[in-house]
Amino acid sequence: MKKILFVDDEPNILAAFQRQLHKQFQVDTAAGPAAGLAALQNWRDYAVVVADMQMPEMNGVDFLVKVKQAAPDLVLMMLTGNADQATAVKAINRGNIFRFLNKPCPPDELVSALEAAVRQHELITAERELLENTLNGSIKVLTEILALFDPIRFGHAEKLRYQVRQMANALKLGQTWELEAAALLANIGHVTLPPELVLKARLGQTLSPREQQVFERVPEVGSNLLAQIPRLDEVARIILYQCQRFDGSGFPSDKVAGEDLPVGSRILKVLVDLSQLENKGVQRAVAIDEMRKRRDWYDPRLLGIVAGALCQEAEEHGPVEGTTRLVTFLNLRIGDVLAADLVTKDGVLIISAGNRVTLPMMQRLRNFAALSGVKEPIRVEA
């Protein structure tokens, strides 16, 4: 059972809540807003927050507004001895309060309100989990289909999602499904590009000004595609600004900059540029140093997290002799990670190195094996 946090500046009142409610609920207390915010660093342990209105450091409404911003799934309640209508309206409108109770509150009324709040939290979390699982599952299938048709462009989406999740955990972000969805669909705008233009760019040929402009607008195209899907508004916004530099330069040219850029866009900007350098053969630590020289391109805090977390991972889990093995096509299994490009006997790329074999990929491989053959042996990670 998740806990209920009571926040009040009077220790005697907090002690009374503990005595009255410990049989029905798991109760934590915090003496004032600062202690309350500190306790909510681990907000996933809680379902409900109950705050007093009149506290010396910060009033209850301002406190609960901060709580809602940091942990939108929590159900918020307020207890106050100053039960004027203006206070109630302000609390409900600004703080998104579930219940507004007068002090002193009869025990049975308080218990009933808390039980309703816990049920509300269960409904909120169940709906969110259903939404995340449904959308993430749908997006993952879509990404796998795109990877089958363009393994170079979409083949590393899963790796990008993994890195985004690492960044979100390092930043202690509450919800990550929108960030992960944006990572998987970051390149979706490329499906609208003419194949000959995609090939020209991939070969490193010089693009005309018009062709370059078309490429620069790919994030906007992808954003517009996703904006038509319910509940993907924020994902679309992350993708729109994924190429925008921290100083506001780049595309789009609306000068949104710094902390006003979605955090997901700032994360993608760092990770995608890092991946591009690594794909050119640059070692990760050297690539990070190169990116630090690009003045005002990146959120410095996020670049520091990448330098600390991902570079350490590269050192700890970098390539080691003997960490790959050769298998025949018949011995290839779903879940195997390719250590080299998988191609047909004619040299056509099917799946690029670094990808994990999925069921749709395996089905496509069987078709290629039957029609044109798959080059063997296949190198996979041990």
**pLDDT (tens digit, 9 = 90+) per residue, 254-307?**
889 999 999 999 999 999 999 889 878 888 889 999 999 999 999 999 999 888
- The pLDDT score that the predictor gives to residue 16 is 92
Mean pLDDT of 172-198: 86
Percent of the chain with pLDDT over 90: 41
| Alpha carbon distance 64, 67 (integer Å) | 5
**Protein fold of 3-105:** Rossmann fold (3.40.50)
What backbone phi and psi angles, to 5 degrees, belong to 78? Answer: -135, 135
**pLDDT score recorded for residue 131:** 72
More confident residue, 116 or 83: 116
Say which CATH class 324-381 falls into: alpha beta
For the chain, give every domain's residue range: 3-105, 135-317, 324-381
Confidence at residue 92, expressed as pLDDT on a 0 to 100 scale = 67
Asked if pLDDT for residue 83 goes beyond 70, the answer is: no
Provide the pLDDT for residue 176: 83
Kindly indicate the confidence band of residue 79, based on its pLDDT and cuts at 50, 70 and 90. confident
Strands (DSSP E) contained in 10-159 are 27-31, 46-52, 75-80, 99-102
Q: Which two tokens stand for residue 229?
A: 């899907």
What are the pLDDT digits (tens) for 102-149?
Answer: 888 889 999 999 999 999 999 988 877 777 777 777 887 788 777 777
For 33-74, what is each residue's pLDDT tens digit?
Answer: 999 999 998 888 899 999 998 888 888 888 998 898 888 889
List the CATH code of the domain at 135-317. 1.10.3210.10
Spatial distance between the Cα atoms of 246 and 259, rounded to a whole number of angstroms: 8
Domains 135-317 and 324-381 share a fold: no
Mean pLDDT of the chain: 86
pLDDT band at 312 (very low <50, low <70, confident <90, very high): low
pLDDT at 322 over 60: no
Predicted pLDDT of residue 245: 96
pLDDT range class, residue 87, cuts 50, 70, 90: low
Q: Is the pLDDT of residue 318 over 60?
A: no
CA dist 290 and 270 (Å) reads 12
pLDDT attached to residue 136 = 74
User: What does the pLDDT average to over 177-198?
Assistant: 88
pLDDT of residue 311: 59
Residue type present at position 302: L
Residue 82's pLDDT band, with cuts at 50, 70 and 90, is: low
Instruction: Determine the pLDDT at residue 281.
Output: 83
CB 274 within 8 A of CB 284: yes
pLDDT at residue 320 above 50? Answer: no
The per-residue pLDDT for 210 is: 92
- 337: Cβ contacts below 8 Å, ≥ 6 apart: 354, 355, 356, 357, 380, 381
Closest CA to 284 of 264, 306, 255: 306
Report the pLDDT value the prediction gives residue 44, as an integer from 0 to 100: 82
Instruction: Convert the pLDDT of each residue in 161-184 to its tens digit.
Output: 888 988 888 887 767 888 989 998
At 319 the pLDDT is: 44
Band of the pLDDT at 76, cuts 50, 70, 90? very high
What gap in Å lies between CA 352 and CA 119, rounded to an integer?
Answer: 47
Specify the DSSP class assigned to residue 76: E
pLDDT digits (tens, 9 = 90+) for 226-241: 988 878 899 999 999 9
- The percent of residues in the chain predicted with pLDDT above 70, rounded, is 92
Per-residue pLDDT averaged across 323-327, rounded?
88
